[in-house]
Structure 1
């Protein structure tokens, strides 16, 4: 079977009408497939290692290569891509913090640079520009796309933008991470007949990747032992899910870097007691290809995003353990409404823009869209004032 035929079969199983990638994309996917096959040829590897290479292998991984990912032409749409209203409201929360402590903004995972562009314009209107707007971006392709997006800014705003490839040693100000955590590799695990296994990846005789049980690593075993008893006792005889072991080190690095200010983390997910419900017996792992979602991370390598929801209880605990204060937690709709998104939309004078904004507001605020599936967690240091974004709803008590 040729690789093209393999891709055709995979697409047909997912959705018969999904378009076949062009020759260049198929060749790219085949190169990543061969690389991953070599990775697991001699022995299974933990899924976290497979996912890391799948997304970030230099020149080959989904986020390392040059294919369109964001917007209608890509595989998924992020909130800043839907409407400037999202970034303009977020800018109000950023301005509040900068006016208290000064400093800079550091954005992780800036995509095409849309949020950075709209944030800087809004912060200029609010007279709250940061000393610098840093974008941490390791992908040369995405960095170039960001430069093109930000080229429309006035010179006095463009000159504040700086691209970096590693975290600064220290900073004061605001850290932004919108849909960043869900792109970190996750550890997949399986509970079977009273025993914990780590899930790895192997290569079948037919050339397809598949799951393989492995002994749990020490970090996975320690994490599982620390789960509340009521969660473990409710697990059915066969249960699969994931945990975010790589995330903890990232949070610790943020805490070591931020001397004073706020980290705003926005992503889809839920508190721990909802994450590990008995009926959610296959976890939250999900893949996106051309706005079609499915749960098979072993097909279309390099051509689809692979992600998982965030356990916000674990994230909050990691933040507290690292030295942060927990400043707020709520769903995205309440956060944006607290920051005046409806008033912002009403103030738009152009009728056509109002219609476009109305559609975007549905996506951003409705419970069955992004409104409740996306959450906002704020971790701070040495802040005196309460945060406006949690004025309507602060649900920190749900994290316990």
Structure 2
């Protein structure tokens, strides 16, 4: 199955393959040390974050617009600077309404979102303080520093990189495509019995192996959600994920946030949609050279592994800490409420070389067929009365 799906993908160069082989050996050793079977979330963690070898821990290009630049996928900040310019508006309102000044971004990618927010907040006259970045990748930290110094040189002194989270934070937290990159467990229901999908080393390669598992809280929740979402439709096999790492991360951030707001932008669904029958083979996806496939064992460390976000669980994790759910909306509605069309109107339509690419990028950010509907924005707050203009219409909190 995997061979048919991936045999047309580009072959990495010798240096990249050597890095992948080194990570493969590391994971193989971990499988042996664990008794021959490794839970998939542990495999995914190593494949993405093993220091110096994992996808985010190594030196892969990752972010870009085309396969020929060596990148694997494009994010909204890379697609258009208007994304950051527009996001700055609800960020500024959250700072004002909470009476706070500082910002914190998780997983800042190339630094384009940070640079764009710094410039846009400054243009809005926002008197903000520090801009803290939390990123596990040393290679990405260097790229972020270079990008910010290039695109926002007069504001670069406000940026700092954190090695550990503070116990308390007042301000605005931003996480764009962070939750989807967190390790997930794979679980499969076969004729009513649950199994956890792990990884073994078989015939000199990685392979999946399922083991019976008891019903813990997350699996019991999924069991109920599947039946409710599909009107008790029975499945011979239903493969899905549990998101303990993302839930724990959300709780940590919302506990740390003593005043202000936290915005998370990612692709996914509320629980009832997430466990629909059409997703009976899980949402786990791999991205390599701007091509999507489902073989997580291809070139370990050189491809991205990702899963869609189950937003109902994220909402519950945040509010369990005492934080308020500030809003939940599609990316399209959030950006339109925040004024992205007004930002686009500030460009001169007569300048075709500038205006047309900008308009095309905005269309991708808003279109239901592109990022507008699949991507959602969920936000939590403490000390903000009411909501924000960006959630004034189209709030879908009732669907969670």
Do both proteins adopt the same fold according to a TM-score greater than 0.5, normalized to the shorter chain?
yes
Shift of 1:231: 4.1
Distance (Å, rounded) in 2 between the aligned partners of 1:225 and 1:346: 48
The structure 1 residue matched to 2:40, chosen from 40, 47, 56, is 47
8 A contact 2:270–2:311 mirrored in 1: yes
Task: Give the equivalent residue in structure 2 for 1:271.
Answer: 270
Task: Give the equivalent residue in structure 2 for 1:259.
Answer: 258
Shift of 1:60: 0.8
Task: Give the equivalent residue in structure 2 for 1:355.
Answer: 356
Establish whether residue 66 from structure 1 lines up as the match of residue 64 from structure 2: no
Shift of 1:277: 0.8
Per-residue CA distance 1:250-299 (angstroms, 9 max, x = gap) = 12211221111111010000011010012321010000000110111122
Distance (Å, rounded) in 2 between the aligned partners of 1:250 and 1:138: 14
Task: Give the equivalent residue in structure 2 for 1:377.
Answer: 378
Task: Give the equivalent residue in structure 1 for 2:25.
Answer: 34
Shift of 1:196: 1.2
Shift of 1:202: 1.1
8 A contact 1:134–1:164 mirrored in 2: yes
Shift of 1:36: 1.2
8 A contact 1:210–1:298 mirrored in 2: no
Task: Give the equivalent residue in structure 1 for 2:147.
Answer: 149
Task: Give the equivalent residue in structure 1 for 2:4.
Answer: 13
Establish whether residue 330 from structure 1 lines up as the match of residue 329 from structure 2: yes
8 A contact 1:120–1:129 mirrored in 2: no
8 A contact 1:265–1:378 mirrored in 2: yes
Deviates more, 1:46-55 or 1:206-215: 206-215
TM-score (norm 1): 0.93
8 A contact 1:251–1:322 mirrored in 2: no
Q: Any unmatched runs of 5+ in structure 1?
A: 1-8
Distance (Å, rounded) in 1 between the aligned partners of 2:45 and 2:5: 23
How many pairs are equivalent?
390
Deviates more, 1:181-190 or 1:386-395: 386-395
Q: Structure 1 residues 287, 168: closer, same or farther in 2, change over 3 A?
A: same
SS in 1 for 2:108: coil
8 A contact 1:134–1:162 mirrored in 2: yes
Establish whether residue 194 from structure 1 lines up as the match of residue 192 from structure 2: yes
Shift of 1:137: 1.5
Shift of 1:362: 2.1
Deviates more, 1:75-84 or 1:351-360: 351-360
Shift of 1:129: 3.8
Establish whether residue 96 from structure 1 lines up as the match of residue 96 from structure 2: no
Task: Give the equivalent residue in structure 1 for 2:296.
Answer: 297
Per-residue CA distance 1:153-204 (angstroms, 9 max, x = gap) = 5554111111112111211110000000000001110101111111111111
Listed as ranges, the matches of 1:118-197 within 5 Å are 118-153=116-151, 155-197=153-195
Task: Give the equivalent residue in structure 2 for 1:5.
Answer: none
Shift of 1:38: 1.5
What is the root-mean-square deviation of aligned Cα atoms in Å?
Answer: 1.9
Distance (Å, rounded) in 2 between the aligned partners of 1:207 and 1:274: 35
Shift of 1:19: 2.1
Distance (Å, rounded) in 2 between the aligned partners of 1:130 and 1:303: 37
Distance (Å, rounded) in 2 between the aligned partners of 1:212 and 1:198: 6
Deviates more, 1:35-44 or 1:25-34: 35-44
Distance (Å, rounded) in 2 between the aligned partners of 1:256 and 1:95: 22
Per-residue CA distance 1:191-247 (angstroms, 9 max, x = gap) = 011111111111112423323334247454454466475248335121100021112
8 A contact 2:77–2:84 mirrored in 1: yes
Deviates more, 1:177-186 or 1:38-47: 38-47
TM-score (norm 2): 0.93
